[in-house]
Amino acid sequence: MFDALTARLGGVFEQLRGKGRLSDSDVDQSLREVRLALLEADVAVPVAKSLLERVRQRAVGAEVTKSLTPGQQVVKIVHDELVATLGGEAAELVSPDKPPLVVLMVGLQGSGKTTSAAKLASLVKSKGRRPLLVAADLQRPAAIDQLETLGGRIGVPVFVDRKSKPVKLAKAALKEARNQGNDVVIVDTAGRLQIDDELMSELAALEKATEPDEVLLVVDAMTGQDAVNVAEGFLARTDLTGIVLTKLDGDARGGAAISAREVTGRPIKFAGVGEGLDDFEVFHPDRMAGRILGMGDVMTLIEKAEETWDEREAAAAAEKLFKAEFTLEDFLSQFQQIRRMGSLSSIVGMLPGAAGALGDIEVSDKDLSRVEAIIRSMTPAERREPKTISGSRRKRIAAGSGTSAQAVNGLLKQYSQTQKMMKQLAAGGGPLAALTGQKRKPKPKSNKKRKKKR
């Protein structure tokens, strides 16, 4: 989502880094470029103005002029102020004095409330909680079916009563949660326009009946500046406690993410970063600011790896690499673990400087899917011994994977080159040996006696 903004800001900061000293005119010119970048990214005008004013006050002072690297100092100032605009620090769900924790999901129809409710339930369940989903969107029968399906996929019960009214349904759901020992109740409400008085009155009645600990507004990040108007409308009619941004993996310009927090004064608590039910994470302002400024997000990458990676499998794979016994079957296993971390583009986006290093090169999951299809079209014996793959077998593999014989040849060639490289690393006792705890074996001493010099 932030690719265009990141590229534009990267160009501005690159010019600053090349200067040993910054004049007031240099700062003014750079901030004009930053302002254009923010407005092009659909950041609300008042938010962009406020952010740049804070940056200017710090950038023209002694903080920059006395710095040995003034260009980098300006980048740091922009980063700090962007973090402040996004909320400063991560905001977790509140902890009520007495369970259950009641969360009311509100927003426009089509913003992703139902899916976000299920994703939130999956997230809290992974932390050891016992959530209950409540299908209170009685305006749209398909929403109830959708929530039941999603609840079944994540193993979370869904409270349903199609003939009831939202308020009565919610009260019954809370009673059920207390009886069954559910410590989190997530209520999926009907989508409504903030200017629809009848539906907003219904939402107010639902809020009064449930006395929620959290009222989370689900905002589609691809709606641009209008997301701010939606947030302001709901804030005027409900006691919002936080915002959930959906579709942060989309191709919109991302201004909603930067504007929503400052305009409403409510923290962005969660972000939907993909279509999978696991693609939902706590919103960290400092990490998001790092992504926007091309600094990466190593902490989120590490957390995803820890959640996804199997330590024993990784150790076994490293051992095979050291012994140059890493087969295509092993590669497929590791490949699947990487894919579980998310899309390749999102993973690359978390690496510091990756956007600048790759330039215009596109990172496509389709290419990786082709590689996976080729390997899956091989027999287990062929994966273990790729040397046995003859010309006729290559044609069969290409047909089975929907690719070409050239693509199969390219993969086998890359695999062969990797094997050679691993053998060289293992023989040298370098970083690969250190990774697996192996030591280089000393060469055996020769038994031959040296000839005496005459």
Q: 2 and 254 in contact (C-beta within 8 Å)?
A: yes
Any domain includes 298: no
446 in a domain, yes or no? no
- Whether residue 203 is contained in a domain is answered as yes
For residue 62, how many other CB atoms are within 10 A of its CB?
8
Residues 224 and 356 in one domain: no
Three-state secondary structure call for residue 133: strand
The domain boundary residue, chosen from 62, 86, 110: 86
Range with the poorest average pLDDT among 133-137, 151-155, 194-198, 275-279 = 194-198
CA atoms within 13 A on the CB side of 418: 15
Same domain, 129 and 51: no
Higher pLDDT, 49 or 425: 49
Whether residue 432 is predicted with pLDDT greater than 50 in this model: the reply is no
- Where does the pLDDT of residue 244 fall: very low under 50, low under 70, confident under 90, or very high at 90 and above? very high
Same domain, 342 and 396: yes
Q: How confident is the model over 232-237, as a mean pLDDT?
A: 83
pLDDT of residue 273: 82
pLDDT tens-digit series, residues 185-203: 999 998 877 667 777 888 8
Domain identity same for 336 and 411: yes
Confidence label for 332 from pLDDT (cuts 50, 70 and 90): confident
**Which band of pLDDT confidence, cut at 50, 70 and 90, is reported for residue 102?**
very high
Q: Are residues 82 and 108 in the same domain?
A: no
Domain that holds residue 7: 3-86
**The domain boundary residue, chosen from 289, 319, 336:** 289
Residues across the chain: 454
pLDDT digits (tens, 9 = 90+) for 60-100: 765 555 555 666 777 788 888 888 888 888 888 998 888 89
- What is the pLDDT at residue 89? 85
pLDDT tens-digit profile of 390-407?
Answer: 889 999 999 999 999 898
Tell me, yes or no, whether 295 lies in a domain: no
pLDDT, greater one: 409 or 23: 409
- Per-residue pLDDT of 162-187, as tens digits, reads 888 989 999 999 999 999 999 999 99
Which pLDDT value is given to residue 112? 87
Mean pLDDT calculated for residue range 428-438: 47
pLDDT at 82: 86
Asked if residue 187 belongs to a domain, the reply is: yes
Tell me the one-letter amino acid at 446: S
Q: How high is the pLDDT of residue 241?
A: 93
- CA angle, 141 then 146 then 152, to 5°: 130
Residues 6+ apart with CB under 8 A from 89: 284, 285, 286
C-alpha–C-alpha distance, residues 147 and 118, integer Å: 7
- For residues 119 and 218, state if they share a domain: yes
- 15/119 same-domain check: no
pLDDT beyond 50 at 435: no
Same domain, 338 and 253: no
- 73-82, 130-139, 290-299, 300-309: which is most confident: 130-139
**Residue 52 lies inside a defined structural domain of this protein:** yes
Asked, as a colleague might, if the bond just before 141 is cis with ω within 30 of 0, I would say: no
Q: How high is the mean pLDDT of the chain?
A: 78
> How far from the centroid of its chain's Cα atoms is residue 453's Cα?
72
Percent of the chain with pLDDT over 70: 71
Give me 55's structure tokens. 């940056």
Q: Mean pLDDT, to the nearest integer, of 277-302?
A: 74
Please state, in angstroms and as integers, the Cα–Cα distance from residue 214 to each residue in 64, 92, 93, 96, 278, following that order. Answer: 42, 11, 7, 10, 21
According to the model, what pLDDT value does residue 312 have? 67
What confidence tier does 339 reach under pLDDT thresholds 50, 70, 90?
Answer: low
Same domain, residue pair 154 and 61: no
Q: What is the pTM of this model?
A: 0.66
b/e for 198-236, b at 16 or more Cβ within 10 A? Answer: ebbebbeebbeebebbbbbbbbbbbbbbebbebbebbbe
Phi (first) and psi of residue 138, to 5 degrees: -85, -5
Same domain, 321 and 432: yes
Say whether both 105 and 237 belong to one domain. Answer: yes
What is the Cα 22 distance to its own chain's centre? 36
Q: What is the Cα–Cα distance from 123 to 280, expressed in whole angstroms?
A: 7
- Does residue 42 form part of some domain? yes
Domain boundary among the residues 254, 289, 324 is at 289
Tally of domains in the chain: 3
Domain CATH for 139: 3.40.50.300
242 and 356 together in one domain: no
Residue 13 CA to residue 21 CA, distance in Å, equals: 14
The whole-angstrom distance between residue 27's C-alpha and the CA centroid of its chain comes to: 33
Give the burial class of 344: count Cβ atoms within 10 A of its Cβ; 0-12 exposed, 13-18 middle, 19 or more buried.
middle
CATH number for position 422 = 1.10.260.30
Mean pLDDT of 135-153: 91
Does the residue 441 lie in any domain?
no
Sheet bearing 158-159, strands edge to edge: 158-159, 131-136, 184-189, 101-107, 214-220, 242-246, 268-272, 280-282
For the domain that residue 24 is a member of, what is the CATH number? Answer: 1.20.120.140
pLDDT range class, residue 293, cuts 50, 70, 90:
confident
- Looking only at the bridges linking them, the beta strands covering 214-220 and 242-246 are parallel
